[in-house]
Structure 1
Protein backbone atom coordinates (compact mmCIF):
# COMPACT_ATOMS: atom_id res chain seq x y z
CA UNK A 1 0.00 0.00 0.00
CA UNK A 2 1.39 3.39 -1.00
CA UNK A 3 1.55 5.89 1.84
CA UNK A 4 -0.50 9.10 1.72
CA UNK A 5 1.57 12.21 1.00
CA UNK A 6 2.03 14.41 4.08
CA UNK A 7 3.65 17.83 4.43
CA UNK A 8 4.46 18.48 8.09
CA UNK A 9 6.98 20.97 9.45
CA UNK A 10 6.05 20.53 13.12
CA UNK A 11 8.36 18.09 14.89
CA UNK A 12 5.61 16.15 16.76
CA UNK A 13 3.97 15.41 13.42
CA UNK A 14 7.24 14.32 11.86
CA UNK A 15 7.51 11.83 14.71
CA UNK A 16 3.91 10.74 14.05
CA UNK A 17 4.75 10.13 10.39
CA UNK A 18 7.68 7.95 11.41
CA UNK A 19 5.24 5.90 13.49
CA UNK A 20 2.95 5.42 10.46
CA UNK A 21 5.45 4.38 7.77
CA UNK A 22 2.93 2.39 5.73
CA UNK A 23 0.28 5.10 5.80
CA UNK A 24 2.16 8.40 5.51
CA UNK A 25 5.13 9.52 3.45
CA UNK A 26 6.82 12.88 3.88
CA UNK A 27 6.85 15.26 0.91
CA UNK A 28 8.11 18.80 0.34
CA UNK A 29 5.16 20.06 -1.69
CA UNK A 30 1.56 20.71 -0.71
CA UNK A 31 -0.30 19.66 -3.85
CA UNK A 32 -2.27 16.47 -3.22
CA UNK A 33 -0.89 16.15 0.31
CA UNK A 34 -2.21 16.22 3.85
CA UNK A 35 -0.79 19.51 5.14
CA UNK A 36 -0.22 20.13 8.85
CA UNK A 37 -0.48 23.73 10.02
CA UNK A 38 0.35 25.24 13.40
CA UNK A 39 -2.78 26.21 15.33
CA UNK A 40 -1.17 29.21 16.98
CA UNK A 41 -1.62 32.58 15.33
CA UNK A 42 -3.83 33.00 12.25
CA UNK A 43 -4.03 29.31 11.45
CA UNK A 44 -7.14 29.77 9.32
CA UNK A 45 -5.07 31.79 6.82
CA UNK A 46 -2.44 29.05 6.73
CA UNK A 47 -5.14 26.43 6.17
CA UNK A 48 -6.68 28.44 3.33
CA UNK A 49 -3.24 28.92 1.78
CA UNK A 50 -2.63 25.17 1.95
CA UNK A 51 -5.87 24.50 0.08
CA UNK A 52 -4.95 27.19 -2.46
CA UNK A 53 -1.76 25.21 -3.08
CA UNK A 54 -3.76 22.06 -3.73
CA UNK A 55 -3.76 20.31 -0.33
CA UNK A 56 -5.95 17.20 -0.18
CA UNK A 57 -6.61 17.78 3.53
CA UNK A 58 -5.43 19.97 6.37
CA UNK A 59 -4.60 19.08 9.97
CA UNK A 60 -4.62 21.99 12.42
CA UNK A 61 -2.42 21.36 15.45
CA UNK A 62 -4.04 22.74 18.61
CA UNK A 63 -6.14 25.50 17.04
CA UNK A 64 -6.45 28.77 18.92
CA UNK A 65 -9.50 31.03 18.63
CA UNK A 66 -10.59 32.11 15.16
CA UNK A 67 -12.98 34.78 13.80
CA UNK A 68 -16.42 33.51 12.84
CA UNK A 69 -16.07 34.79 9.28
CA UNK A 70 -12.81 32.86 8.86
CA UNK A 71 -14.54 29.68 10.00
CA UNK A 72 -17.32 30.37 7.50
CA UNK A 73 -14.77 30.32 4.67
CA UNK A 74 -13.15 27.14 5.93
CA UNK A 75 -16.50 25.40 6.39
CA UNK A 76 -17.06 25.76 2.66
CA UNK A 77 -13.70 24.08 2.12
CA UNK A 78 -14.55 21.35 4.63
CA UNK A 79 -17.50 20.29 2.49
CA UNK A 80 -15.08 18.99 -0.17
CA UNK A 81 -11.77 18.44 1.67
CA UNK A 82 -11.20 17.15 5.23
CA UNK A 83 -10.09 19.56 7.95
CA UNK A 84 -8.89 17.65 11.01
CA UNK A 85 -8.44 19.51 14.29
CA UNK A 86 -6.15 18.32 17.06
CA UNK A 87 -7.95 19.60 20.16
CA UNK A 88 -5.75 18.80 23.18
CA UNK A 89 -8.54 18.46 25.75
CA UNK A 90 -11.08 16.86 23.40
CA UNK A 91 -9.29 13.88 21.88
CA UNK A 92 -11.21 12.25 19.06
CA UNK A 93 -10.17 8.73 20.07
CA UNK A 94 -11.43 9.36 23.60
CA UNK A 95 -14.76 10.63 22.25
CA UNK A 96 -15.10 7.45 20.17
CA UNK A 97 -14.22 5.29 23.19
CA UNK A 98 -16.89 6.98 25.29
CA UNK A 99 -19.49 6.55 22.55
CA UNK A 100 -18.64 2.84 22.29
CA UNK A 101 -18.81 2.33 26.06
CA UNK A 102 -22.08 4.11 26.76
CA UNK A 103 -25.64 2.95 26.16
CA UNK A 104 -27.28 4.57 23.14
CA UNK A 105 -30.03 5.85 25.41
CA UNK A 106 -27.82 7.78 27.86
CA UNK A 107 -29.96 10.98 27.69
CA UNK A 108 -28.58 12.79 30.75
CA UNK A 109 -31.01 15.11 32.51
CA UNK A 110 -28.22 17.36 33.78
CA UNK A 111 -24.53 17.96 33.19
CA UNK A 112 -21.95 19.97 35.07
CA UNK A 113 -18.87 21.53 33.50
CA UNK A 114 -15.92 22.83 35.53
CA UNK A 115 -12.99 24.48 33.79
CA UNK A 116 -9.90 26.20 35.20
CA UNK A 117 -6.93 27.45 33.21
CA UNK A 118 -4.29 30.17 33.02
CA UNK A 119 -5.80 33.37 31.63
CA UNK A 120 -4.30 32.92 28.15
CA UNK A 121 -5.64 29.35 27.85
CA UNK A 122 -9.10 29.69 29.38
CA UNK A 123 -11.02 30.29 26.14
CA UNK A 124 -9.60 27.19 24.44
CA UNK A 125 -9.94 25.03 27.56
CA UNK A 126 -13.57 26.08 28.04
CA UNK A 127 -14.24 25.47 24.36
CA UNK A 128 -13.05 21.87 24.71
CA UNK A 129 -14.94 21.39 27.98
CA UNK A 130 -18.15 22.50 26.24
CA UNK A 131 -17.29 20.06 23.48
CA UNK A 132 -17.34 17.23 26.00
CA UNK A 133 -20.71 18.42 27.31
CA UNK A 134 -22.04 18.41 23.75
CA UNK A 135 -20.74 14.87 23.22
CA UNK A 136 -22.29 13.56 26.44
CA UNK A 137 -25.58 15.41 25.90
CA UNK A 138 -25.75 13.93 22.43
CA UNK A 139 -27.21 17.17 21.07
CA UNK A 140 -26.10 20.73 20.26
CA UNK A 141 -26.21 23.16 23.17
CA UNK A 142 -27.58 26.68 23.54
CA UNK A 143 -26.75 29.56 25.89
CA UNK A 144 -29.48 30.47 28.36
CA UNK A 145 -27.97 32.71 31.05
CA UNK A 146 -24.71 33.63 32.70
CA UNK A 147 -22.54 36.03 34.66
CA UNK A 148 -18.91 36.97 34.35
CA UNK A 149 -16.73 38.90 36.80
CA UNK A 150 -13.07 38.98 37.74
CA UNK A 151 -12.01 36.19 35.42
CA UNK A 152 -14.71 33.81 36.67
CA UNK A 153 -17.93 32.87 34.94
CA UNK A 154 -21.13 30.99 35.69
CA UNK A 155 -23.47 29.95 32.91
CA UNK A 156 -26.49 27.83 32.17
CA UNK A 157 -26.65 26.00 28.85
CA UNK A 158 -29.35 23.70 27.58
CA UNK A 159 -29.29 20.87 25.06
CA UNK A 160 -31.86 20.38 22.33
CA UNK A 161 -33.06 17.42 24.40
CA UNK A 162 -33.73 19.84 27.30
CA UNK A 163 -30.83 18.68 29.45
CA UNK A 164 -29.56 21.45 31.75
CA UNK A 165 -25.83 22.15 31.60
CA UNK A 166 -24.26 24.22 34.38
CA UNK A 167 -20.84 25.72 33.68
CA UNK A 168 -18.20 27.11 36.04
CA UNK A 169 -15.11 28.64 34.42
CA UNK A 170 -12.28 30.57 36.04
CA UNK A 171 -8.73 31.68 35.52
CA UNK A 172 -6.26 29.91 37.76
CA UNK A 173 -2.54 30.75 37.50
CA UNK A 174 -1.52 27.41 39.00
CA UNK A 175 -3.57 25.30 36.58
CA UNK A 176 -1.86 23.13 33.95
CA UNK A 177 -0.75 25.03 30.85
CA UNK A 178 -3.59 23.59 28.75
CA UNK A 179 -6.13 23.94 31.53
CA UNK A 180 -8.05 21.56 33.74
CA UNK A 181 -11.60 20.35 33.17
CA UNK A 182 -14.19 18.06 34.69
CA UNK A 183 -17.52 17.14 33.12
CA UNK A 184 -20.18 15.03 34.81
CA UNK A 185 -23.27 13.70 33.05
CA UNK A 186 -26.08 12.59 35.37
CA UNK A 187 -28.23 9.78 34.01
CA UNK A 188 -28.92 6.12 34.75
CA UNK A 189 -25.25 5.75 33.84
CA UNK A 190 -23.18 8.53 35.35
CA UNK A 191 -20.22 9.61 33.22
CA UNK A 192 -17.23 11.56 34.55
CA UNK A 193 -14.57 13.10 32.31
CA UNK A 194 -11.57 14.45 34.20
CA UNK A 195 -8.66 15.99 32.30
CA UNK A 196 -5.77 17.52 34.21
CA UNK A 197 -3.97 19.22 31.35
CA UNK A 198 -3.80 16.18 29.09
CA UNK A 199 -3.95 13.46 31.77
CA UNK A 200 -7.39 12.13 30.88
CA UNK A 201 -9.53 9.82 33.04
CA UNK A 202 -13.03 8.73 32.01
CA UNK A 203 -15.25 6.76 34.39
CA UNK A 204 -18.79 5.41 34.28
CA UNK A 205 -20.99 4.40 37.20
CA UNK A 206 -24.20 2.38 37.04
CA UNK A 207 -26.04 -0.27 39.06
CA UNK A 208 -23.21 -2.74 38.51
CA UNK A 209 -20.50 -0.44 39.87
CA UNK A 210 -17.87 2.04 38.74
CA UNK A 211 -15.53 1.42 35.82
CA UNK A 212 -12.67 3.44 34.41
CA UNK A 213 -12.16 3.35 30.66
CA UNK A 214 -8.70 2.28 29.45
CA UNK A 215 -6.24 5.15 29.17
CA UNK A 216 -5.39 6.40 25.71
CA UNK A 217 -1.67 5.99 25.03
CA UNK A 218 -1.59 7.04 21.37
CA UNK A 219 -0.22 10.55 21.07
CA UNK A 220 -2.77 13.16 19.87
CA UNK A 221 -0.62 14.09 16.85
CA UNK A 222 -0.64 10.50 15.68
CA UNK A 223 -4.42 10.30 16.17
CA UNK A 224 -4.97 13.44 14.10
CA UNK A 225 -2.63 12.37 11.32
CA UNK A 226 -4.13 8.88 11.18
CA UNK A 227 -7.63 10.36 10.91
CA UNK A 228 -6.55 12.70 8.10
CA UNK A 229 -4.96 9.89 6.11
CA UNK A 230 -8.08 7.76 6.54
CA UNK A 231 -10.37 10.65 5.54
CA UNK A 232 -8.40 11.24 2.34
CA UNK A 233 -8.23 7.58 1.39
CA UNK A 234 -11.90 6.93 1.99
CA UNK A 235 -13.12 10.37 0.83
CA UNK A 236 -14.73 10.76 4.23
CA UNK A 237 -16.21 14.01 5.52
CA UNK A 238 -15.48 15.04 9.10
CA UNK A 239 -17.40 17.40 11.37
CA UNK A 240 -14.43 18.85 13.28
CA UNK A 241 -14.83 22.42 12.05
CA UNK A 242 -18.58 22.64 12.63
CA UNK A 243 -18.11 21.21 16.12
CA UNK A 244 -15.31 23.67 16.87
CA UNK A 245 -17.51 26.56 15.85
CA UNK A 246 -20.40 25.34 18.01
CA UNK A 247 -18.15 25.01 21.05
CA UNK A 248 -16.25 28.26 20.45
CA UNK A 249 -19.44 30.32 20.08
CA UNK A 250 -20.71 29.09 23.45
CA UNK A 251 -17.35 29.66 25.13
CA UNK A 252 -17.35 33.21 23.76
CA UNK A 253 -20.86 33.83 25.03
CA UNK A 254 -19.86 32.70 28.50
CA UNK A 255 -16.58 34.61 28.66
CA UNK A 256 -17.45 37.76 26.75
CA UNK A 257 -21.17 38.27 26.50
CA UNK A 258 -22.61 36.82 29.73
CA UNK A 259 -24.71 39.33 31.65
CA UNK A 260 -25.64 39.55 35.32
Structure 2
Protein backbone atom coordinates (compact mmCIF):
# COMPACT_ATOMS: atom_id res chain seq x y z
CA UNK A 1 0.00 0.00 0.00
CA UNK A 2 1.38 3.39 -1.01
CA UNK A 3 0.77 6.77 0.60
CA UNK A 4 0.26 9.79 -1.71
CA UNK A 5 2.83 12.58 -1.37
CA UNK A 6 2.34 16.13 -2.66
CA UNK A 7 5.58 18.04 -3.19
CA UNK A 8 7.19 20.53 -5.56
CA UNK A 9 10.66 20.11 -4.02
CA UNK A 10 13.15 18.17 -6.15
CA UNK A 11 14.89 16.33 -3.26
CA UNK A 12 11.53 15.07 -2.05
CA UNK A 13 10.49 13.97 -5.53
CA UNK A 14 13.68 11.90 -5.49
CA UNK A 15 12.76 10.54 -2.05
CA UNK A 16 9.32 9.52 -3.33
CA UNK A 17 10.92 7.70 -6.27
CA UNK A 18 13.25 5.88 -3.86
CA UNK A 19 10.31 4.60 -1.79
CA UNK A 20 8.14 2.90 -4.43
CA UNK A 21 6.66 0.43 -1.96
CA UNK A 22 5.37 3.10 0.42
CA UNK A 23 5.05 6.44 -1.45
CA UNK A 24 3.52 7.68 -4.68
CA UNK A 25 3.57 11.19 -6.13
CA UNK A 26 0.26 13.05 -6.07
CA UNK A 27 -0.95 16.41 -7.38
CA UNK A 28 -3.72 16.57 -4.80
CA UNK A 29 -2.85 17.58 -1.24
CA UNK A 30 -6.11 16.31 0.27
CA UNK A 31 -5.35 13.06 2.10
CA UNK A 32 -1.68 13.18 1.09
CA UNK A 33 1.57 13.86 2.91
CA UNK A 34 2.19 17.51 2.03
CA UNK A 35 5.78 18.73 1.86
CA UNK A 36 6.37 22.46 2.33
CA UNK A 37 9.62 24.38 2.07
CA UNK A 38 10.90 25.72 5.39
CA UNK A 39 11.43 29.26 4.11
CA UNK A 40 9.78 32.62 4.85
CA UNK A 41 6.52 32.05 6.78
CA UNK A 42 6.72 28.26 6.49
CA UNK A 43 4.52 27.83 9.56
CA UNK A 44 1.64 29.44 7.66
CA UNK A 45 2.22 27.16 4.67
CA UNK A 46 2.17 24.17 7.02
CA UNK A 47 -1.05 25.40 8.65
CA UNK A 48 -2.64 25.89 5.23
CA UNK A 49 -1.68 22.35 4.20
CA UNK A 50 -3.21 20.97 7.38
CA UNK A 51 -6.39 22.97 6.88
CA UNK A 52 -6.48 21.75 3.26
CA UNK A 53 -6.84 18.14 4.37
CA UNK A 54 -3.25 16.90 4.37
CA UNK A 55 -2.81 13.56 6.13
CA UNK A 56 0.56 14.78 7.43
CA UNK A 57 2.88 17.72 6.82
CA UNK A 58 6.64 17.62 6.29
CA UNK A 59 8.57 20.89 6.62
CA UNK A 60 11.84 20.80 4.70
CA UNK A 61 14.69 22.44 6.62
CA UNK A 62 12.59 24.88 8.67
CA UNK A 63 14.09 28.34 9.08
CA UNK A 64 13.94 30.15 12.40
CA UNK A 65 10.36 30.82 13.47
CA UNK A 66 8.90 32.90 16.32
CA UNK A 67 7.63 30.88 19.27
CA UNK A 68 4.20 32.46 18.82
CA UNK A 69 4.04 31.17 15.24
CA UNK A 70 4.91 27.65 16.40
CA UNK A 71 2.17 27.80 19.03
CA UNK A 72 -0.32 28.91 16.38
CA UNK A 73 0.72 26.07 14.06
CA UNK A 74 0.42 23.51 16.86
CA UNK A 75 -3.10 24.74 17.54
CA UNK A 76 -4.19 24.63 13.89
CA UNK A 77 -2.49 21.30 13.11
CA UNK A 78 -3.59 19.61 16.32
CA UNK A 79 -4.86 16.49 14.51
CA UNK A 80 -2.24 16.51 11.73
CA UNK A 81 1.19 14.93 12.24
CA UNK A 82 3.94 17.48 11.53
CA UNK A 83 7.42 16.16 10.73
CA UNK A 84 10.36 18.56 10.60
CA UNK A 85 13.47 17.85 8.55
CA UNK A 86 16.31 19.29 10.65
CA UNK A 87 19.55 18.29 8.90
CA UNK A 88 21.73 19.22 11.88
CA UNK A 89 19.47 17.20 14.19
CA UNK A 90 18.55 14.14 12.15
CA UNK A 91 15.80 12.00 13.65
CA UNK A 92 17.48 8.74 12.60
CA UNK A 93 20.73 9.71 14.33
CA UNK A 94 18.80 10.75 17.45
CA UNK A 95 17.05 7.36 17.43
CA UNK A 96 20.35 5.52 17.02
CA UNK A 97 21.77 7.35 20.02
CA UNK A 98 19.09 5.79 22.21
CA UNK A 99 20.67 2.38 21.76
CA UNK A 100 24.22 3.69 21.97
CA UNK A 101 23.43 5.40 25.28
CA UNK A 102 22.24 2.24 27.02
CA UNK A 103 24.17 1.93 30.26
CA UNK A 104 25.95 5.28 29.85
CA UNK A 105 25.73 7.30 33.10
CA UNK A 106 24.25 10.78 33.00
CA UNK A 107 26.75 13.54 32.26
CA UNK A 108 27.70 16.02 34.95
CA UNK A 109 28.01 18.78 32.36
CA UNK A 110 27.79 19.43 28.63
CA UNK A 111 29.80 21.84 26.48
CA UNK A 112 28.13 23.14 23.30
CA UNK A 113 29.91 24.96 20.48
CA UNK A 114 28.12 26.40 17.47
CA UNK A 115 29.18 28.51 14.50
CA UNK A 116 27.46 29.39 11.26
CA UNK A 117 27.12 32.16 8.68
CA UNK A 118 25.15 35.16 9.99
CA UNK A 119 22.00 34.16 8.11
CA UNK A 120 21.78 30.69 9.60
CA UNK A 121 23.21 31.20 13.10
CA UNK A 122 19.77 31.27 14.74
CA UNK A 123 18.90 27.91 13.17
CA UNK A 124 22.26 26.37 14.06
CA UNK A 125 21.96 27.59 17.65
CA UNK A 126 18.43 26.23 17.85
CA UNK A 127 19.60 22.81 16.67
CA UNK A 128 22.64 22.90 18.97
CA UNK A 129 20.24 23.36 21.87
CA UNK A 130 18.23 20.47 20.46
CA UNK A 131 21.29 18.23 20.62
CA UNK A 132 21.95 19.31 24.20
CA UNK A 133 18.34 18.41 25.03
CA UNK A 134 18.77 14.97 23.42
CA UNK A 135 22.05 14.22 25.21
CA UNK A 136 20.64 15.51 28.51
CA UNK A 137 17.59 13.29 28.12
CA UNK A 138 15.03 16.02 28.75
CA UNK A 139 14.17 19.73 28.70
CA UNK A 140 16.63 22.46 29.60
CA UNK A 141 16.28 25.65 31.61
CA UNK A 142 18.07 28.95 30.91
CA UNK A 143 20.13 30.13 33.88
CA UNK A 144 22.23 32.92 32.35
CA UNK A 145 22.95 34.38 28.95
CA UNK A 146 24.78 37.18 27.22
CA UNK A 147 24.93 38.23 23.57
CA UNK A 148 26.79 40.89 21.62
CA UNK A 149 27.39 41.30 17.91
CA UNK A 150 25.68 37.99 17.18
CA UNK A 151 27.94 36.14 19.63
CA UNK A 152 26.31 34.19 22.43
CA UNK A 153 27.42 32.85 25.79
CA UNK A 154 24.88 30.86 27.74
CA UNK A 155 24.41 28.62 30.73
CA UNK A 156 21.54 26.14 30.73
CA UNK A 157 20.65 23.45 33.23
CA UNK A 158 19.24 19.96 32.78
CA UNK A 159 16.42 18.44 34.82
CA UNK A 160 19.05 16.63 36.89
CA UNK A 161 21.04 19.77 37.65
CA UNK A 162 23.84 19.29 35.12
CA UNK A 163 25.31 22.47 33.62
CA UNK A 164 25.16 23.07 29.86
CA UNK A 165 27.54 25.77 28.62
CA UNK A 166 26.96 27.24 25.16
CA UNK A 167 29.23 29.29 22.92
CA UNK A 168 27.88 30.42 19.54
CA UNK A 169 29.19 32.88 16.98
CA UNK A 170 28.81 33.82 13.32
CA UNK A 171 31.59 32.65 11.03
CA UNK A 172 31.59 33.45 7.28
CA UNK A 173 33.58 30.32 6.37
CA UNK A 174 31.33 27.90 8.25
CA UNK A 175 29.17 25.33 6.41
CA UNK A 176 25.99 26.90 5.02
CA UNK A 177 23.79 25.20 7.63
CA UNK A 178 26.31 25.77 10.38
CA UNK A 179 28.23 23.34 12.53
CA UNK A 180 27.52 22.08 16.02
CA UNK A 181 29.75 20.23 18.47
CA UNK A 182 28.58 18.89 21.83
CA UNK A 183 30.78 17.13 24.38
CA UNK A 184 29.60 15.56 27.59
CA UNK A 185 31.83 15.80 30.66
CA UNK A 186 31.56 12.45 32.37
CA UNK A 187 33.32 9.16 33.00
CA UNK A 188 32.02 8.07 29.59
CA UNK A 189 32.50 10.95 27.16
CA UNK A 190 30.05 11.44 24.31
CA UNK A 191 30.89 13.75 21.40
CA UNK A 192 28.51 14.84 18.66
CA UNK A 193 29.88 16.70 15.64
CA UNK A 194 27.04 17.81 13.37
CA UNK A 195 27.13 19.61 10.03
CA UNK A 196 26.00 18.05 6.75
CA UNK A 197 27.32 14.76 8.17
CA UNK A 198 26.82 13.91 11.83
CA UNK A 199 29.38 11.92 13.79
CA UNK A 200 28.87 10.43 17.23
CA UNK A 201 31.80 9.17 19.29
CA UNK A 202 31.59 7.46 22.68
CA UNK A 203 34.83 7.16 24.66
CA UNK A 204 35.20 5.01 27.76
CA UNK A 205 37.90 2.98 29.50
CA UNK A 206 37.80 0.38 26.72
CA UNK A 207 38.37 2.86 23.89
CA UNK A 208 36.38 4.82 21.33
CA UNK A 209 33.29 3.69 19.44
CA UNK A 210 31.90 5.61 16.47
CA UNK A 211 28.29 5.50 15.32
CA UNK A 212 28.16 4.18 11.73
CA UNK A 213 27.77 6.81 9.00
CA UNK A 214 24.24 7.39 7.71
CA UNK A 215 23.83 7.22 3.94
CA UNK A 216 20.09 7.86 3.70
CA UNK A 217 19.15 11.43 2.81
CA UNK A 218 17.50 13.56 5.49
CA UNK A 219 14.59 14.12 3.08
CA UNK A 220 13.90 10.41 2.79
CA UNK A 221 14.13 9.99 6.57
CA UNK A 222 11.55 12.76 7.07
CA UNK A 223 9.24 11.32 4.42
CA UNK A 224 9.41 7.82 5.91
CA UNK A 225 8.58 9.21 9.35
CA UNK A 226 5.56 11.10 7.98
CA UNK A 227 4.26 8.02 6.18
CA UNK A 228 4.68 5.97 9.36
CA UNK A 229 2.80 8.63 11.34
CA UNK A 230 -0.10 8.47 8.87
CA UNK A 231 -0.28 4.69 8.97
CA UNK A 232 0.07 4.28 12.73
CA UNK A 233 -1.79 7.46 13.79
CA UNK A 234 1.10 8.22 16.14
CA UNK A 235 1.95 11.88 16.65
CA UNK A 236 5.61 12.89 16.41
CA UNK A 237 6.94 15.37 18.98
CA UNK A 238 8.76 17.48 16.38
CA UNK A 239 6.80 20.69 16.96
CA UNK A 240 7.03 20.52 20.75
CA UNK A 241 10.77 19.86 20.55
CA UNK A 242 11.24 22.71 18.07
CA UNK A 243 9.35 25.08 20.35
CA UNK A 244 11.56 24.16 23.30
CA UNK A 245 14.74 24.69 21.29
CA UNK A 246 13.48 27.90 19.65
CA UNK A 247 12.42 29.51 22.94
CA UNK A 248 15.89 29.01 24.44
CA UNK A 249 17.66 30.18 21.26
CA UNK A 250 15.49 33.32 21.16
CA UNK A 251 16.27 34.04 24.81
CA UNK A 252 20.01 33.65 24.29
CA UNK A 253 20.13 35.73 21.11
CA UNK A 254 18.21 38.55 22.78
CA UNK A 255 20.08 38.40 26.10
CA UNK A 256 21.63 41.77 27.00
CA UNK A 257 25.35 42.31 27.29
CA UNK A 258 26.43 42.33 30.91
Q: Same fold (TM over 0.5)?
A: yes
TM-score range normalised by the length of the shorter chain: over 0.9
1:209-228 aligned at under 5 Å gives the runs: 209-228=207-226
- Which residue in 2 is equivalent to 1:255? 253
1:1-260 aligned at under 5 Å gives the runs: 2-104=1-103, 106-195=105-194, 197-260=195-258
In the alignment, the residues of structure 2 paired with residue 212 and residue 140 of structure 1 have an alpha-carbon distance, to the nearest angstrom, of 26
Which runs of 5 or more residues in structure 1 are unaligned? Answer: none
In structure 2, do the counterparts of structure 1 residues 76 and 104 end up closer, same or farther at CA, with 3 Å as the change threshold? farther
Which runs of 5 or more residues in structure 2 are unaligned? Answer: none
Give the CA deviation at 1:213: 0.7
Normalised by the length of structure 2, the TM-score is 0.97
Aligned partner of residue 145 in structure 1, secondary structure? strand
Consecutive aligned runs of 4 or more in structure 1 exceeding 4 Å deviation: none
- Residues 107, 162 of structure 2: 8 Å contact kept: yes
User: How many residues end up aligned between the 2 structures?
Assistant: 258
In the alignment, the residues of structure 2 paired with residue 253 and residue 204 of structure 1 have an alpha-carbon distance, to the nearest angstrom, of 31
In the alignment, the residues of structure 2 paired with residue 72 and residue 179 of structure 1 have an alpha-carbon distance, to the nearest angstrom, of 26
In the alignment, the residues of structure 1 paired with residue 19 and residue 163 of structure 2 have an alpha-carbon distance, to the nearest angstrom, of 42
In angstroms, what is the RMSD of aligned CA positions? 1.2
Normalised by the length of structure 1, the TM-score is 0.96
- Residues 104, 188 of structure 2: 8 Å contact kept: no
